[in-house]
């Protein structure tokens, strides 16, 4: 499939309700089960290893009108939590059997149990991912936590998750992540040939599709992208940071680019490309995954790194991608993103890296103000 | 509205004793500032202050600093200072008030406090704690220890949860030995836990007395007098003695049939932290109606003692782990909290549930609309949800709150009359 066609297909796919995708997959996998993962990281490998389909549970964007969820969650709570709950109320997750949340923030934590109460037919699990990355007990703990999650799926759905099958799933997801790293490297090298909207569509589609199928598409893309047309434009290179959970509207990503930026690095859908190198496939895959969660992790606002300053990973990203600036894109009301903004910004200022703050909401639909702000920022840099 | 109800007990003996104890604690900290004795910053929720105490490390509680500044109407300039530095209007205002204080060159509510020698983040359910203590450790240059307590996501903690927590305790103890220059003494910890258990018993007994009508104290507004001793000073002989005194005082009141108000007309359960910048005004809105809190969830952030759990000196570290993992409000899911409130409504015979929903603390508030649904629709408990904040005075709209509260109690009164 040609690049443009693949990207169009991705665009169609992500416009479909999750339940429709789940039902369609089940038609070709009779008796199959589907589990959807709320950001940021979830062990998709375990779900896949049980013969189930792992999907991303990423809210309702601008398409779902809130009719029930806003009576449950107050006005000062982020949009993704409300629209995700609304998906349940409107039956848009019909076909999805399991949901996984984790300790990324207090809102996600409460959402998890409220989901379970309102929709007892889902198998809902809440994963406590470690925040102490230096304890000698952390790898054992994480391995056990993943075992617990696997046992939960086994007893809820009668599936079998064996060490063997996890090994195979880890290999599959390692392969996918390697392709994603290659796509990110390609965009750093030739951002004019792969826009961020396109890369985001590819990535997001991956969270809504069969992983085997995704791997084939990723290989095709990587083979075809270098031959794509694209003349470099006079734009600044930026890293965007903060939209690791609530999904930015496509319009926002478009505006950033139209206003004169090449986005060369980001933290979009971070959980689906969490590991910086392959997870080892060995005798104890639970431990390998757990250890990797801690040792091979990308920098993330939802994990306490321990030894490093919050800005360190971001500055490394800026250097590695040869970016000129950072645009912070925290979702409105998102505590982890908004808290990290301060030390990150301070770190950037120490390194004289310019930055701009652009808050967003998934349901945002006009971007003119953002366009003006970004254009002014870009101009100030281009003509500095 | 019938004849006005008045407060009787606000400045009672328990309040006075609590004040003295808390002042003594701040003076100790001020002294530590001069002598260079080690100090440890730690959070209130499900804390393990006993471990610090075993090394004579003075505990500092940034939340107490923040709330005291709010009560003294000093929080807004601090919050604004933090917002100027880049914190969002949507970030927890406790953190902002604390960071604002650092940016203004201070630490502590009025009294000069030392910078912590160690910043011990007891991550017990609240994810903001992680950020707060990352920032605090950076601002003060102190060593950060992230004590990661797995969230209670199964009916009981798993064996792996307990192993992980105990392992971290061992690691923490090694660091505390180094900081304090003292060897870990398990017998000393046992003694401290003995005092803790005695204080817990007294706190639980006091709350139990609120099952009586009238309740001898308001378990939301007056419970603050006990929350200092139980959460900050737990593990000291003074705190244990304080609760013995408190129980005596409350038993006397029960014998006299006295409560905090001239008349107890409504018994309510209150969920959520109070609006510290307007503590008195908020309280008055309920007092007018003769509404007394007979139980509250906020008073259990440090530990839920009224259902029977006590620290056990014979199993020191294990029982501290149990308290952090399961026996406090913050490390449990919001829906588990519904069960806790339900018990209060039933066993403390409450007429209503009042939810004070605060913007700063999403751990408490995110999803309280669902809680209201559950109590009104499924249990038929009259429930009022009002919004403001625990630290930021900008979110307190008195007229609006008064209207909502008046309308609610009017309806409740009407219901009572009809039922009679
Ligand atoms: S957007 Fe932020 S606050 Fe909301 S659920 Fe995600 S991480 Fe939590």
Label residue A121 exposed, middle or buried (CB < 10 Å: 0-12, 13-18, 19+). Answer: exposed
Point out the ligand 1 atom lying closest to the alpha carbon of residue A333.
3
Number of structural domains in chain A? 1
Structure tokens at A205: 């589609």
In a domain, A309, yes or no: no
pLDDT digits (tens, 9 = 90+) for B2-27: 567 777 755 688 999 999 999 999 99
In a domain, A305, yes or no: no
pLDDT at residue B109 tops 60? no
- Residue A165: inside a domain: no
Say which CATH class B22-187 falls into: alpha beta
Whichever domain contains A102, its CATH number is 3.40.50.11890
Structural domain includes residue A133? yes
* Closest Cβ–Cβ partner in A71, A110, A338 for B366: A110
**A124 domain residue, yes or no:** yes
What values do phi and psi take at B377, rounded to 5?
-80, -40
The H-assigned helical ranges of A60-210 are 69-72, 79-89, 106-118, 138-157, 163-189, 196-206
CB contact at 8 A, A102 and A57: no
Among B124, B360, B366, B389, most A C-beta atoms within 10 A, so best to mutate, is B366
Q: For residue B339, what pLDDT band results from cuts at 50, 70 and 90?
A: very high
What's the domain range around A139? Answer: 32-159
Q: Angle at which helices B398-419 and B279-287 pack, to 10 degrees?
A: 20
pLDDT at B110: 59
Q: Judge whether A145 lies within some domain.
A: yes
Contact assignment for A335 to B87 by CB distance below 8 Å: no
Cα nearest neighbour of B123 on chain A: A131
Q: Is the pLDDT of residue B36 over 70?
A: yes
Global pTM?
0.96
Task: Indicate the pLDDT class of residue B106, thresholds 50, 70 and 90.
Answer: confident
A113 CA to centre of ligand 1 in angstroms? 15
User: How high is the pLDDT of residue B252?
Assistant: 94
- Contact (CB, 8 A) for A34 and A52: yes
- Yes or no: say if A239 and A265 are a contact pair by the CB < 8 Å rule: yes
Task: Return the CATH class of domain B208-419.
Answer: alpha beta
In chain B, where the domains are located? 22-187, 208-419
Which DSSP category does B332 fall into? S
The arithmetic mean of pLDDT across residues B136-165, rounded, is 94
Task: Tell me what ipTM this predicted complex has.
Answer: 0.95
Asked if residue B112 has pLDDT above 90, the reply is no
pLDDT for B8: 73
Which residues touch A382 (CB under 8 Å, ≥6 apart)? Answer: A234, A236, A260
| Residue A44 token pair | 């998709």
Instruction: Give residues (CB < 6 A) around ligand 1.
Output: A 78, 80-81, 104-105, 107-108, 245-246, 331, 334-337
pLDDT of residue B287 exceeding 70 = yes
Q: Calculate how close chain B gets to A334, using CA atoms only, in Å.
A: 8
A359: closest chain B residue by CA: B88
| pLDDT tens for each residue of chain A, 384 residues long | 689 999 999 999 999 999 999 999 999 999 999 999 999 999 999 999 999 999 999 999 988 999 999 999 999 999 999 999 999 999 999 999 999 999 999 999 999 999 999 999 999 999 999 999 899 999 999 999 999 999 999 999 999 999 999 999 999 999 999 999 999 999 999 999 999 999 999 999 999 999 999 999 999 999 999 999 989 999 999 999 999 999 999 999 999 999 999 999 999 999 999 999 999 998 799 999 999 999 999 989 999 987 678 999 999 999 999 999 999 999 999 999 999 999 999 999 999 999 999 999 999 999 999 999 999 999 999 886
A192 belongs to a structural domain: no
Q: What is the arithmetic mean of pLDDT over B188-206?
A: 98
Nearest residue, CB atoms, A114 vs list B134, B146, B334: B334
């Amino acid at each position: 499939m040609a690049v443009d066609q693949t990207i169009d297909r991705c665009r169609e796919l992500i416009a479909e309700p999750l339940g429709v995708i789940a039902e369609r997959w089940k038609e070709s996998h009779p008796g199959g089960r589907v589990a959807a993962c709320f950001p940021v990281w979830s062990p998709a490998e375990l779900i896949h290893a049980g013969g189930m389909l792992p999907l991303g549970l990423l809210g309702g964007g601008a398409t779902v009108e809130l009719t029930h969820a806003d009576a449950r969650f107050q006005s000062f709570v982020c949009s993704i939590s409300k629209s995700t709950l609304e998906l349940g109320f409107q039956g848009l997750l019909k076909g999805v059997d399991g949901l996984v949340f984790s300790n990324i923030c207090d809102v996600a934590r409460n959402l998890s149990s409220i989901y379970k109460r309102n929709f007892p037919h889902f198998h809902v699990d809440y994963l406590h991912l470690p925040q102490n990355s230096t304890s000698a007990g952390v790898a054992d703990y994480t391995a056990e936590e993943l075992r617990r999650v696997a046992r939960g799926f086994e007893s809820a759905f009668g599936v079998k998750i064996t060490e063997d099958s996890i090994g195979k799933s880890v290999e599959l997801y390692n392969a996918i992540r390697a392709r994603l790293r290659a796509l990110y490297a390609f965009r750093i090298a030739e951002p004019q040939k792969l826009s961020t909207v396109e890369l985001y569509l590819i990535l997001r589609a991956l969270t809504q599709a069969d992983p085997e199928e995704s791997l084939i598409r990723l290989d095709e893309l990587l083979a075809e992208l270098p031959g794509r047309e694209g003349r470099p434009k006079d734009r600044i290179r930026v890293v965007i940071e903060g939209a690791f959970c609530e999904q930015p509207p496509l319009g926002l990503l478009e505006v950033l680019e139209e206003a004169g930026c090449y986005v060369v690095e980001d933290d979009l859908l971070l959980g689906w490309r969490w590991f910086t190198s392959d997870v080892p496939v060995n005798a104890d895959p639970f431990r390998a995954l757990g250890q990797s969660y801690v040792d091979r992790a990308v920098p993330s606002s939802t994990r306490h790194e321990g030894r490093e300053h919050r800005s360190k990973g971001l500055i490394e990203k800026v250097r590695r991608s040869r970016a000129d600036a950072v645009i912070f894109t925290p979702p409105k009301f998102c505590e982890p993103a908004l808290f990290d903004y301060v030390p990150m910004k301070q770190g950037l200022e120490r390194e004289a890296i310019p930055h701009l703050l652009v808050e967003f909401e998934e349901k945002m639909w006009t971007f003119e103000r953002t366009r003006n702000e970004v254009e002014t920022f870009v101009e100030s840099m281009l003509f500095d | 509205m019938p004849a006005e109800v008045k407060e009787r007990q606000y400045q009672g003996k328990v309040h006075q004793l609590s004040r003295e104890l808390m002042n003594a604690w701040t003076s100790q900290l001020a002294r530590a500032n001069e002598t260079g004795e080690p100090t440890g910053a730690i959070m209130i929720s499900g804390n393990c202050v006993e471990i610090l105490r075993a090394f004579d490390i003075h505990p500092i509680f940034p939340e107490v600093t923040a709330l005291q500044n709010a009560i003294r109407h000093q929080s807004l300039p601090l919050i604004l200072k933090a917002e100027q530095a880049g914190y969002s209007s949507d970030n927890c205002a406790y953190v902002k008030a604390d960071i604002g204080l650092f940016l203004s060159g201070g630490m502590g509510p009025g009294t000069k406090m030392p910078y912590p020698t160690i910043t011990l983040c007891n991550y017990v359910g609240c994810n903001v704690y992680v950020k707060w203590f990352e920032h605090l450790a950076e601002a003060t240059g102190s060593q950060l220890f992230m004590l990661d307590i797995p969230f209670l996501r199964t009916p009981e903690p798993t064996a792996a949860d307990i192993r992980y927590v105990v392992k971290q305790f061992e690691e923490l103890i090694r660091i505390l030995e180094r900081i304090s220059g003292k060897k870990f003494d398990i017998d000393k910890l046992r003694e401290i836990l003995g005092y803790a258990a005695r204080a817990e018993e007294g706190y639980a007994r006091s709350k139990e007395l609120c099952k009586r009508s009238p309740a001898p104290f308001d378990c939301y507004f007056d419970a603050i007098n006990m929350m200092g001793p139980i959460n900050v000073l737990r593990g000291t002989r003074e705190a244990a003695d304080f609760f013995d005194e408190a129980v005596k005082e409350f038993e006397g009141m029960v014998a006299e049939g006295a409560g905090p108000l001239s008349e107890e007309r409504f018994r309510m359960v209150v969920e959520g932290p109070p609006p510290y910048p307007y503590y008195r005004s908020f309280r008055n809105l309920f007092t007018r109606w003769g509404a007394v809190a007979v139980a509250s969830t906020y008073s259990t952030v440090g530990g839920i003692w009224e259902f029977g759990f006590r620290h056990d000196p014979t199993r020191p570290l294990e029982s501290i782990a149990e308290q952090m993992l399961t026996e406090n409000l913050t490390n449990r899911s919001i829906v588990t909290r519904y069960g806790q409130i339900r018990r209060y409504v039933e066993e403390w015979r409450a007429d209503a549930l009042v939810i004070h929903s605060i913007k700063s603390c999403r751990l408490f508030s995110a999803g309280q609309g669902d809680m209201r649904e559950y109590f009104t629709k499924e249990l038929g408990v009259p429930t009022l949800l009002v919004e403001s904040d625990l630290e930021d005075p900008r979110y307190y709209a008195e007229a609006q709150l008064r209207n909502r509260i008046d309308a609610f109690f009017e309806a409740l009164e009407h219901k009572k009359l009809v039922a009679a």
